[in-house]
Amino acid sequence: MAFVIAPSRDFSGALPGNYLGLFNMTSNGKQSNHVIAIKLDCFQNKEFDDIDDNHVGIDINDLKSIESAPASYFSDKENQYVNLSLGNGHPLQLWVEYSGTARQLNVTLAPIKVTKPRIPLLSLEIDLSQIILDHPMFVGFSTATYTLPTSHYILGWSFKMNGEARELTLSQLPRLPRTHKRVPRLFIVLFAVIGATLVFISIFFNIQFIVKRKNKFAEMLEDWKRDYRPYRFKYKDLYFATKGFNNKELLGTGGFGRVYKEWEQVVVHRDIKSSNVLLDRELNGKLGDFGHARLYDHGTNPQTTHVVGTLGYLAPELCRTGKAIEPEASEDCKVLVNWVISCWSRGKILDTVDQKLGKNYDLEEMELVLRLGLLCSHSIPTERPHMRQVMHYLKGEVSLPKLRLLGLQTGIDDTNFLPSTGWSTMTRSSSVAESILSEGR
């Protein structure tokens, strides 16, 4: 849309669209047109070098603007130009002022409720006396659409020669007509009912889901359990930690029930310590439990472990004579403690070192650990060192006492004992080894 000053009202030869109903392909750009146009352009026409699709331009005899700028206005409050949209349907004000004395053409734009900015959007020094003829000139508006049908409205305008035009009374201006069809009241009520129904259904199913989930993880506490509540694991925590008590997370079944692998936060076993970790043939750690522990490997059938209970909590003689290891077993089945005693009694305790270590160990440290192991395996519980004493021995703060042999298990050759080791020779016994005594503790 454009505010136009022209020498005639006859534009019969002009084209619509991007020519704004003012010129055609032949007349555009001719000096004989004597046409001045201030255009508000919502379409970028590259043929006329438009800067964008939302600008204000000053056109003289040609649709190529002499001066143009993006639609905006200067805000005294923000002390800067604020962008405006020419196509959003909001009413605007436009001031076009020319001073013949100063030969200055100013164009100012602003929202409808904003007073005239003190700084114009466009300011051009030009002598319009060469454009405006001596005979009568016509003032008005021209508008055209290009690709889509649009509407342009002039709510009010004021014009004056040789002086300032009268200010518009904004409260008396008509309102813009409705651009959208009014929605029938019936549809509004229908949409409201459907929306309320959907909200109610959503709330109902959410409540049902919450109640069902709460019941699923609800706990029944007996009176005697309430005293221990701060130390109990919630069923919900256990459920998620074991992935819904999935059998793939099952480690074993013992005297206290099933033992699951901990997944993220809950340690289900609740008794994890070094004495509860057993080794298989490949020296892989397996979590054990008190009682008749059963270990489950994924993809295999469960089988009972050979040791009932954990070494360190059972007397050594029970490990030697229990049903899991029969006295009549073949020579290949050796009792570990008896074998170490036999090697030590013959002055060859280092023969018990794992061959996989090669020579990558300290001889004195290895002998200390093996001898300390024999001392900790003493058949008399009161003769075994406490853990604090064990730590003193390992740190070298206290010397390990010499050991004396007073009794042996069947299967150890007494005749091979070396007198230099400090052992006293005794006869063969069919019972378990009586004792390994230390000289002091």
Positions annotated as catalytic residues are 271
Query: DSSP per residue over 316-381, as a string?
Result: HHHHHHSTTS-TT--TTS--HHHHHHHHHHTT-GGGGS-GGGTT-S-HHHHHHHHHHHHHHT-SSG
State residue 383 phi and psi, 5-degree precision: -90, -10
Query: What Rg, from alpha-carbon coordinates, does the chain have?
Result: 51
Q: With the C-alpha atoms ordered 387, 393, 399, 403, is the resulting torsion angle positive or negative? A: positive
Alpha-helix runs per DSSP H in 290-359: 316-321, 336-345
Tokens describing residue 43: 């379409």
16-27 burial by CB neighbour count: b if 16+ within 10 A, else e? eeebbebbeeeb
Angstrom distance (rounded) from CA 147 to CA 150: 9
Q: Are 58 and 105 in contact (CB under 8 A)?
A: yes
Q: Closest Cα partner for 122 from 41, 31, 8?
A: 41
Angstrom distance (rounded) from CA 409 to CA 434: 8
How many Å is the maximal CA-CA distance in the chain? 149
Helix 363-376 to helix 387-395 angle, to the nearest 10 degrees? Answer: 170
Tokens describing residue 155: 């709510």
Angstrom distance (rounded) from CA 231 to CA 142: 86
Residue 234 is given by DSSP the state P
Q: Are 261 and 249 in contact (CB under 8 A)?
A: yes
Angstrom distance (rounded) from CA 371 to CA 380: 16
Angstrom distance (rounded) from CA 258 to CA 295: 10
State residue 212 phi and psi, 5-degree precision: -65, -40
End-to-end distance of the chain based on CA atoms, in angstroms? Answer: 110
Instruction: Give the Å distances, CA to CA, from 321 to 61, 329, 338.
Output: 119, 11, 12
